[in-house]
Amino acid sequence: MTKSGQLWGGRFTEGPDETFAEFNNSFGFDCRLFVADISASIAHANGLEKAGVVSHDEREEIVSGLTRLLEEESSFENYFDESDAEDVHSFVEGKLIDLIGDAGRKLHTGRSRNDQVATTFRLWVRYETDAIETLVRGLQSALVDLATRHADAVLPGYTHLQRAQPIRFTHWCLAYFEMFKRDRERLTDLRKRVNVLPLGSAALAGTSFPIDRESIARELGFDGISANSLDAVSDRDFVVEFTAACSLIMVHLSRLAEDLILYCSTEFGFVVLTDKVSSGSSLMPQKKNPDALELLRGKAGRVFGHQMSLLAMLKGLPLAYNKDMQEDKEAVFDTVDTVRISLHIAAIVLANATVNEERTREAATKGYLNATELADYLVKKGVPFRTAHETVGNAVLYAIGEGKELHDLRLEQLREFSDMIEADVMTALSLDAVLAAKNTVGGTSPERVAESLAAARKYLEI
């Protein structure tokens, strides 16, 4: 080694250009992989002893040296700041050699940074997959809490952002619960493909040392080992899958945010946020803006951008490892930081949201949201649906002209449109009846919604 932490000086006659070194080095950001790199290095050292490459004592020295680095990192602030290491792998190896000398120089036997970075990154992404899954769960539980606080609230349901049919507010909450449930399933599923050990693939061809890869995999909690060394060092599918799952989380968060932004406006007036999660205007004294929600909506874009940059970075790369792949780190780090804070903030916003139940109830009874119910009523009396649709359309047109809701028309007025309409129509058109009628599985009747809320609680084990 030419200098501490430099892994490849032997065939070079001069050091790197300063600007190139800066361009090439990744330690400024991949130092986040420090703990994962040490875990993988300890497992590799254990593997080297088992393969007869290092002695028992040398392994002890290596492992206690690596453990010491972990301690140093947690006790010194700015531990990484002074170093001009190329990347986290050179940093750890260099520090180890400085600390224990020759035994440290054996650690890289049968290993390349190519299988090392793949292993380390998989460990890190696995950890974050679990952490994000837990945060998604937290958000689901905030949705259940919000639904419980407003168990009797109703809401106009929309299509095309036009009032369509009334729904229970809980139903709206549980719609997002379902999205986040799928997000958790996606994370659990992709975790299986993240959790495969590349170590032992070395630079690209495998290693000449009899390393027991299965035992290293067990030690690091991997579900299995990669089957092809060329693929193992060049595969970043797991990163793309991970950011794809994160992108969908952000899609769902942005839709939740958008619904709430609308609901917080004076025009809707359905939801009030506490001051804790709102901001003011520097110019307009009356303003209270839902900035937290707008940022949730806006931050989705950067995660999609990372997803796209990863795909573009991988496209057309020849086998096996290429330095282009170092570009995966910052994309994933920023994705994780963005998704974590977004999930956290979303849960905080939900805890600070209150539904104006009177206003949402009123909105659910104005704008002909029971028109479909009137058509269904006629169908139940034997009228074909298409005919009923036309009849009710005419009735709605008439009611608009009168400036009244369907349920405000007198029975005789309604009967002008169909003599199948009888006195029981008034009950059928009431908000409660309309909601109760939507009793199919997955529908918005109070009975079904109560079942779904109970199922959601059971799923969360709360």
Residues designated catalytic: 160, 281
Rule CB under 6 A: say whether 114 interacts with ligand ARG.
yes
The residue among 88 and 246 lying less far from ligand ARG, judged by its C-beta, is 88
Q: Kindly tell me which residue out of 44, 95, 108, 113 binds ligand ARG, with binding defined by CB under 6 A.
A: 113
Q: How many residues of this chain interact with ligand ARG, rule: CB under 6 A? A: 12
The residue among 11 and 56 lying less far from ligand ARG, judged by its C-beta, is 11
Chain-centroid distance, C-alpha 173: 18
Min CB(48)–ligand ARG separation in Å: 20
Q: Which long-range contacts (CB under 8 A, 24 or more apart) does 153-161 make?
A: 153/355, 153/357, 153/360, 153/361, 154/357, 154/360, 154/361, 154/364, 154/431, 154/435, 155/270, 155/360, 155/363, 155/364, 156/360, 156/363, 156/364, 156/367, 156/369, 157/369, 157/444, 161/262
Min CB(108)–ligand ARG separation in Å: 12
Min CB(7)–ligand ARG separation in Å: 9
Q: What phi and psi, each to the nearest 5 degrees, are found at residue 384?
A: -60, 145
Rule CB under 6 A: say whether 165 interacts with ligand ARG.
no
- The one-letter amino acid at 445: S
In this chain, which stretch among 60-68, 94-102, 154-162, 320-328 interacts with ligand ARG, using CB under 6 A?
320-328
The DSSP bridge partners found for residue 279 are: 289
Min CB(306)–ligand ARG separation in Å: 16
Rule CB under 6 A: say whether 326 interacts with ligand ARG.
yes
Rule CB under 6 A: say whether 413 interacts with ligand ARG.
no
Min CB(326)–ligand ARG separation in Å: 4
Q: Hey, which residues between 195 and 254 contact ligand ARG (CB under 6 A)? A: none
The residue among 32 and 359 lying less far from ligand ARG, judged by its C-beta, is 32
CB atoms within 10 A of CB 73: 17
Residue with token string 């799928």 = 182
In this chain, which stretch among 163-171, 300-308, 322-330, 424-432 interacts with ligand ARG, using CB under 6 A?
322-330
CA 126, 120, 344, 75: dihedral to nearest 10 degrees? 130
Min CB(203)–ligand ARG separation in Å: 7
Rule CB under 6 A: say whether 42 interacts with ligand ARG.
no
Rule CB under 6 A: say whether 325 interacts with ligand ARG.
yes
Rule CB under 6 A: say whether 320 interacts with ligand ARG.
no
Distance CA 53, CA 109 (A): 8
Strand 196-197 relative to strand 271-273, pairing: unpaired
CB 93 within 8 A of CB 34: no
Q: Hey, which residues between 45 and 104 contact ligand ARG (CB under 6 A)? A: 87, 89
CB 230 within 8 A of CB 204: yes
Scanning 195-270, the segments in alpha helix (DSSP H) are 213-219, 229-234, 237-264
Rule CB under 6 A: say whether 365 interacts with ligand ARG.
no
Residues that bind ligand ARG (CB under 6 A): 26, 30, 87, 89, 113-114, 117, 321, 323, 325-326, 329
